[in-house]
Amino acid sequence: MVLTFFPKIRSTTPGACVINVGAEPSPGYRLLRVRGRGGFAEVWEAASPAGPVALKFMPSSNTGTTAREVRSIQSFQAFDHPYLVKTNGVWSVPGYIVIDMELAEATLLDLMLVYHNDLGQHIPTPQLCLYMWQVGEGLDFLNARRHTRDGRRVGFQHGDVKPNNVLLFGDVAKLTDYGLATPTHGPATPCPRHGTREYAPPEVFQGYLSDTSDQYSLAVTYHVLRTGVFPFPPPPAGDMPKSYLRPPADLSALLPAEQTVLARALSAVPQDRFGSCQEMIRGLLKAHGLKMSRSDDGVWRPVPDDETVPDPPSSKTMREIANRSNSRPR
Ligand SMILES: Nc1ncnc2c1ncn2[C@@H]1O[C@H](COP(=O)(O)OP(=O)(O)O)[C@@H](O)[C@H]1O
Ligand SMILES: [Mg+2]
């Protein structure tokens, strides 16, 4: 939905596949409309033999690299988790890698903007906590060293957790783009590239991923969705010096009990964070006087936790918070 800021993303490879409304980039797939553009890819709604799907087109010119990327993304297809977006297939066409995935209604960023622009408020806290809980489940599954890659036990750090990588399917939020995740064998894994820098943990600027890197980005994501702003000023543009230190987070827009939870999840030292994303989310639920409960229909929902008394709502208005100097999220 957030299209206007990004130009079309087209492959420069001679003879590259045409991407237009009505085009059939692969047999049986017809492009219907653009659903979004990021820095490196364009996502289309398409008709397919299996019904409506999302097709992500990533320009790719080098055949060797393309084959490697396709194999790497294909290896994630086997993942079957209720809070990870399902990948139906990955292949290459001239000039692009194509990923066929579940078609979402919107991203969490879209939802936040609808609430801000149309209703002048943030996403209601119980709804936000539900989405965070679901994404936390997906991340804990991904992060745990329970997967096998090249005969070794590995975990995966997603590396780009942010509101527009969380897709909405009714009341269910699912994490997407984990196909580019990094396998981790131990507490520090070299990572040459970083995801969206506003959400990246400090260790990534130093060139490595920890077991809690995604938790840090989830905490930034929560702050953005809850307040409309980042907890710290954006890192400088251009190449990041390894010596870059993030200024301390300003969490004053949150309730005191939430601040305690987020301060821990945003610790500069990875080992000082929570043991899992779920632990962090339980803390946030508690800060709002909520807990997760499974109803008779088997669905998990946040419900009032009679044993915790939440802090009174902050006296800051949304406008006061939005006027802070920290930049608005993209
Ligand atoms: N499975 C999907 N269903 C519907 N829309 C999607 C899907 N995946 C991505 N999008 C849309 O396409 C946009 C671009 O996605 P992407 O290339 O991953 O970039 P980014 O995650 O940086 O926004 C997303 O912001 C979202 O609006
Ligand atoms: Mg994405």
Other residues' Cβ atoms within 10 Å of the Cβ of residue 74: 15
Residue 318 has pLDDT above 50, yes or no: no
Substitution candidate for ligand 1 out of 5, 107, 162, 177 with most atoms within 8 A of CB: 107
Give the model's pLDDT for residue 66: 85
For residues 75 and 170, state if they share a domain: no
Stated pTM of the model: 0.91
Q: Whose CA is nearest to atom 11 of ligand 1?
A: 36
Nearest ligand 1 atom to alpha carbon 40: 17
For residues 149 and 274, state if they share a domain: yes
For residues 116 and 73, state if they share a domain: no
Number of domains within the chain: 2
Nearest ligand 1 atom to alpha carbon 105: 4
Block residue for tokens 């292949």: 91
Range of the domain at 173: 106-320
For residues 159 and 249, state if they share a domain: yes
Residue 272, phi then psi, degrees to nearest 5: -80, -5
Task: Write down which residue in 55, 73, 103 finishes a domain.
Answer: 103
For residues 63 and 125, state if they share a domain: no
Pocket of ligand 1 (CB under 6 A): 1, 35-39, 41, 43, 54, 85, 101-104, 107, 164-165, 167, 176-177
Task: Write down which residue in 78, 103, 128 finishes a domain.
Answer: 103
Task: Write down which residue in 70, 103, 136 finishes a domain.
Answer: 103
For residues 63 and 176, state if they share a domain: no
Q: Is 327 part of any domain? A: no
Question: What spacing in Å lies between the alpha carbon of 53 and ligand 1's midpoint?
Answer: 12
For residues 149 and 237, state if they share a domain: yes
Residue 50 has pLDDT above 80, yes or no: yes
pLDDT tens-digit readout, 159-181: 999 999 999 999 999 999 987 79
Q: Is 45 part of any domain? A: yes
Q: pLDDT confidence of 309, banded at 50, 70, 90? A: low
pLDDT tens-digit readout, 223-277: 999 999 999 998 888 877 778 888 889 999 999 999 999 999 999 999 999 999 9
Q: What's the token pair of residue 295?
A: 């109803």
Domain containing residue 12: CATH number:
3.30.200.20
**CA 53 from centroid of its chain's CA atoms:** 20
Domain containing residue 118: CATH number:
1.10.510.10
Can you say whether the dihedral through the CA atoms of 41, 46, 50, 52 is positive or negative? positive
| Percent share of the chain, pLDDT over 70 | 91
pLDDT tens-digit readout, 5-31: 568 999 999 899 999 999 999 999 999
pLDDT tens-digit readout, 66-105: 888 888 888 888 888 999 999 999 999 999 999 999 999 9
For residues 306 and 175, state if they share a domain: yes
Ligand nearest to the CA of 2: 1
For residues 273 and 308, state if they share a domain: yes
Nearest of 135, 126, 128, 134 to residue 289 by alpha carbon: 126
Q: Is 97 part of any domain? A: yes
For residues 201 and 112, state if they share a domain: yes
